[in-house]
Amino acid sequence: MSSKVLCVDDNPNVLAALKRNLRKRFDIVTAEGGELALEIMDHNGPYAVIVADMQMPGMNGIELLTRVQRKAPDTVRIMLTGNADQRTPVDAVNLGQIFRFLNKPCPIETMIQTLEDGIKRYHLIVAERELLTNTLNGSVKVLMDVLALVDPVSFGRSQTMRHNARQLAAALSAQFTWELELSALLSQVGVVSLPPKLVEKARRGLQLEAAEEAMLHRVPQVGADLLANVPRLEPVARIVRYQDKRFDGSGIPADSLKGDQIPLEARIIKVLADLAQLESRANSKVQAMAEMRSRTGWYDPTILEAAARCFQLSPVSPPSTCARARVISELRPGDVLRSDVRTRDGILVAAAGIRLSALQLERLRNFASVMGLKEPIYVDEA
């Protein structure tokens, strides 16, 4: 983890003095002016702390630290100036989000303590971000592993939806965000709350009883509640909550949001999920799209037509000619299934299209040992 300090001033004598007084305690790099400082950060970063003089020609300290805040938000920013104008610290804090503000001349003991505090703060920021990232990635993996165990079909569909979301976002000329990817991937996680027989009944389009309808309608909220407990997934939870909301404002949840007020990602997922559901009922893409177009007010028209261009009018890819037949003992983590994996009694254990994790592979081996699996199993040729 970096502990480097970048000192920026237009006066080479000031920089020389700083380096002379601080080099025994810190890894000091100096830059004469803001433009050079930004180049140094691009080529030799990251830096834990940057100390910038306020009054510099071309680019003053506030402008520099504001750009640093956008370029390297983890770097702790310190302002050093001899300007007695009280407006300077206010602007520096508001625009550059400054950690400390020091006046010239600054006693060396104060500078040393400030740099030590800045480096500690940088390490804390980076450690907290890494913790959050690892927690997020681990939590998502656990949720997906649980979904794969409980309902392999929904797991396979969620992976397909993540891929399709990328394509549809491109067709819409929309920026593909991590929220959209995770929302597509985690949109089905609420299914774990349903009895398997109800899931199968709904998947086949059979008539549901009122109590069953109510349970099915709760799936987005259940998924959102699960995700809301994971750090940084609050935006994803909101998208998942609105994935069944219709463009005209009807549907779930029953609130006043409609049209563009519904999150864009939720409107995309609504189209993708319904398209996948209709296709699964032995309909072609053309038939599924025709039925969706007949549902007045259900979908964002722009997204629906983009999906038609992106998926319906594209030629259907032929089955992979590079599939390889394997027995269960030959499967490895990372293999992509090209056929469903079923027990000898016909129970679906893993759906075609998924990439096997270590946990899913262990599950397949357990099923093979207890119930037996139909072999061979087809996977992508490596």
What the chain holds in terms of domains, given with CATH numbers, is: 4-127 (3.40.50.2300), 151-316 (1.10.3210.10), 320-382 (3.90.105)
Tell me the pTM: 0.57
Tokens of 371: 């119930």
* Res 272: pLDDT: 93
Q: Confirm if 143 and 186 have CB atoms less than 8 A apart.
A: yes
**What tens-digit pLDDT sequence spans the chain (382 residues)?**
678 999 999 999 999 999 999 989 999 999 999 999 999 999 998 999 999 998 899 899 889 998 998 889 899 999 888 765 555 555 555 454 788 888 888 899 999 999 999 999 999 888 877 776 777 778 888 888 888 888 888 888 888 888 888 888 888 877 667 888 889 989 989 998 999 889 888 887 788 899 999 999 999 999 999 898 887 888 999 999 999 999 999 999 989 999 999 999 999 999 999 988 887 765 677 778 888 888 999 999 999 988 888 875 443 444 444 678 889 999 998 888 887 888 888 888 887 777 888 888 888 898 898 889 988 898 886 5
Helix axes 234-241 and 264-280, enclosed angle (nearest 10): 50
At residue 357, the 3 state secondary structure works out as: coil
Cα 220 from chain centre: 19
Report the distance separating Cα 29 and Cα 37, nearest Å. 10
Rounded to the nearest 10 degrees, how much is the dihedral formed by the CA atoms of 54, 56, 59, 65? -30
CA angle 367, 373, 375 (to 5 degrees): 145
Report the distance separating Cα 176 and Cα 160, nearest Å. 16
Report the distance separating Cα 255 and Cα 245, nearest Å. 9
* Res 171: pLDDT: 81
* Res 92: pLDDT: 52
Q: What is the DSSP string of 296-326?
A: TTSS-HHHHHHHIIIIISSPPPPPPTTEEEE
Per residue in 102-112, pLDDT (tens digit) is 888 889 999 99
For 8-17, give one letter per residue: b (16+ CB within 10 A) or e.
Answer: bbbeeebbee
Q: Confirm if 290 and 214 have CB atoms less than 8 A apart.
A: no
CA angle 212, 213, 214 (to 5 degrees): 90
Q: Confirm if 182 and 137 have CB atoms less than 8 A apart.
A: no
Q: Confirm if 242 and 220 have CB atoms less than 8 A apart.
A: yes
